[in-house]
């Protein structure tokens, strides 16, 4: 074919099936291995689709398939048998009432059903992954909310000053107070209506002197403290 011929074919091809173009499901090319199809079996399906779309042949012969595939008729017959057994294709018997002729055609609806199931499984997997990511984000958000600096800013209703941030860091790094104990001290300050760092520091220091090391210890000590009527 000379350059003019190629140009003519290219222009005609853009018009679609009438110019010899076959539409092959991309999902077949993507997922044929998930259907446990070999390359030859996939190529055979593509040729069955092409014969139907381009040449309007619903039942190409073994010889016609052999010519386009370049393999033996026996090999093609074995591939057809497997496709039939797997339910990917079937053979329908039709009757041309006008001519009184009975003929056969390959039915590829089984293939399209299987491909649809592949797409559904893929979409389900994508949805599952999306849901998993959302759950991970939801699980991260509480952790961010438990960040001491964020908690203090929320309770104080304003950004913390550099000195206040340094105080919190000192409680953790130098005094070695557990973060949950610091949060507990903040709650006690809020309960007492004395939300300032000096009061919180006094609570932590008093707990430390009385060997209060956990939240449970703090709750027990606080309950005892309130029962005694101290202010």
CB atoms within 10 A of CB 45: 23
* Mean per-residue pLDDT, 66-91: 93
Total H helices, total E strands in the chain: 11, 2
CA–CA separation, 162 and 2 (whole Å): 79
CA–CA separation, 165 and 161 (whole Å): 6
- On the question of pLDDT at 78 being above 90, the answer is yes
- On the question of pLDDT at 91 being above 70, the answer is yes
Which of the four pLDDT bands, split at 50, 70 and 90, describes residue 144?
very low
pLDDT, one tens digit per residue, over 100-123 is: 788 899 999 999 998 888 888 877
Name every residue whose Cβ is closer than 8 Å to that of residue 210 and which is 6 or more positions away in sequence.
221
CA–CA separation, 117 and 221 (whole Å): 62
* Mean per-residue pLDDT, 92-106: 82
Strand ranges (DSSP E) for the chain? Answer: 90-96, 101-107
Which of the four pLDDT bands, split at 50, 70 and 90, describes residue 27?
confident
- On the question of pLDDT at 174 being above 80, the answer is yes
Q: What was the pLDDT predicted at 127?
A: 67
Query: Which of 38-42, 45-49, 136-140, 191-195 has the least mean pLDDT?
Result: 136-140
Structure tokens at 147: 């960040």
């Amino acid at each position: 074919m000379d350059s003019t011929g190629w140009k003519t074919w290219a222009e005609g091809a853009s018009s679609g099936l009438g110019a010899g173009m076959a539409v092959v499901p991309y999902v077949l090319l993507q997922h044929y291995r998930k259907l446990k199809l070999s390359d030859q079996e996939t190529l055979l399906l593509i040729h069955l689709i092409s014969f139907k779309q381009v040449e309007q042949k619903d039942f190409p012969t073994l010889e016609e398939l052999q010519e386009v595939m370049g393999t033996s008729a026996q090999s093609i017959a074995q591939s057809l048998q497997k496709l039939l057994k797997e339910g990917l294709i079937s053979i329908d018997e039709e009757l041309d009432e006008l001519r009184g002729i009975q003929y056969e055609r390959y039915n590829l609806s089984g293939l399209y059903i299987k491909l649809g199931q592949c797409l559904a499984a893929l979409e389900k997997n994508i949805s599952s992954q999306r849901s998993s990511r959302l759950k991970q984000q939801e699980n991260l958000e509480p952790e961010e909310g438990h960040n001491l600096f964020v908690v203090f800013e929320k309770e104080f209703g304003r950004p913390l000053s550099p000195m206040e941030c340094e105080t919190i860091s000192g409680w953790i790094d130098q005094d070695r107070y557990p973060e949950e104990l610091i949060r507990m001290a903040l709650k006690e300050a809020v309960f007492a209506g004395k939300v300032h760092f000096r009061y919180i520091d006094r609570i932590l220091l008093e707990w430390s002197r009385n060997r209060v090391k956990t939240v449970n210890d703090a709750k027990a000590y606080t309950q005892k403290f309130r029962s005694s009527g101290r202010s």
